Amino acid sequence: MRKMAIGVAVATLLALGPAMAQETVKLGYIDPLSGGGASVGEVGLKHFQWLAEQVNARGGLNGKKLEVLAFDSKTNPQEAVIQAQKAIDAGARIITQGNASSVAAALSDFVTKYNERNPGKEVLYFNYAAIDDSLTNDKCSYWHFRWDASASVKMAAISNYLKNRPEVKKVYLINQDYSFGQSFRKLAAEMLKAKRPDIQIVGDELHPLLKVTDFSPYIAKIKASGADTVITGNWGQDIALLLKAGADAGLQSNWYTIYAGGVGGPTAIKQSGLADKVHDIVENDPNTAPEAAQAAESEFRKRFGASLWYPRAVNEIRFLESAVKETGSVDPKAIAQKLEGMTGGTFTGGKGAMRKDDHQFFQDMYLRSFGPLKPGQKFDEEGTGWGWTSKGKIAANDTIVPTTCEMERP
């Protein structure tokens, strides 16, 4: 009788297992939680945990709780694929990642092949920050959706701004030596040549990804070149340490970046004394954002002690929530089909759209500079008393670039 009771209990648990699993939608977060990329990976995780709380407070996804499962990619493509399989084994049908385009390419390829081998058990890959153009061009995948602007969009915005600044005469390019950094330097050279052929590129440097601890030799080269402007796609510790080395050496060049707002970046800029000479291109400017976005920014900063770096993560989860609501399903195939061509409101109050052709999201973008807070500004960064000031808004329709993607749909 005792054996029979145990057998019945086990059978009951096995029967309930799938039903219990269906009560939760699991999102696998795969980003660096150790090593040089941990500073951005940890804050990214906080974003998604915070967003999951909000979704669940609104009733979840089709009545199911959204749960975030964290996995450490170690900024390594092979390790990320291992972690993606672990996420799937743990029940995740959606994975999200953002740091390092080389990792993104590996994950996109893995998810595409996994779905081919496992019909009926498909997985979606939401990319919130890896911006190499190839991901929505020759390496595009039906199962990959990118919520950040691509490298070409961001470089187009920077080069369009520099086109009308005649004081810019000598530019130094310094980037991380991997797929995105190599792509970004190429885009910079091509777009500057097309829009400002008079600009002289006096340096073009690549350095190891997240391995340099002292950038002073690189800064010495920049100073020796006579560059009045530095353009870099560096992120994580590589932008913070690069700016710090520039500050220590008294480098007075203008900087045009994508990720100067990351951990340590604002502090290094303040130390350099380069008021309004360090710029970035982003999808949100908290000091000019609408009231609802500023309220969310304040809440996030109070809870986590960090800026809301990833409004695109907010857009990602909002669109996921809408797709589930409109389809009445949490099935990845239904969600993917609904997201194609989907439009909706963004965190900053504008309109965003997920292009069907390549699954690239388009939204308003802002070019900003960093310096002492201006009258009426409420958000400083890292307790420096300095904040970001918008230099111009690029409407979503003006950020659209062509794609070479030849989408293979299931």
Residue-range domains of the chain with CATH: 21-149+293-362 (3.40.50.2300), 152-282+365-399 (3.40.50.2300)
Q: What pLDDT is recorded for position 272?
A: 84
2 pLDDT above the threshold of 80: no
Q: What pLDDT is recorded for position 131?
A: 96
Dig out the tokens for 257 from the structure.
Answer: 């970046």
9 pLDDT above the threshold of 70: no
Q: What pLDDT is recorded for position 23?
A: 85
CA distance 229 to 224: 13
319 pLDDT above the threshold of 80: yes
CA distances from 376 to 34, 131, 196 (A): 38, 33, 35
CA distance 30 to 128: 11
The whole-chain average pLDDT of the chain stands at 93
For the chain, what's the residue count?
410
8 pLDDT above the threshold of 60: no
Stated pTM of the model = 0.90
Question: pLDDT tens digit string along 33-71?
Answer: 999 899 899 999 999 999 999 999 999 999 999 999 999
CA distance 328 to 238: 43
Q: What pLDDT is recorded for position 7?
A: 47
Dig out the tokens for 349 from the structure.
Answer: 């109050």
276 pLDDT above the threshold of 80: yes
Binned at pLDDT 50, 70 and 90, residue 11 comes out as: very low
Question: pLDDT tens digit string along 328-385?
Answer: 999 999 999 999 999 999 999 999 999 999 999 999 999 999 999 999 999 999 999 9
CA distance 186 to 24: 44
100 pLDDT above the threshold of 70: yes
Place of tokens 């002492």: 372
Determine whether 96 is exposed, middle or buried from the number of CB atoms within 10 Å of its CB (0-12, 13-18, 19+).
buried
CA distance 62 to 330: 7
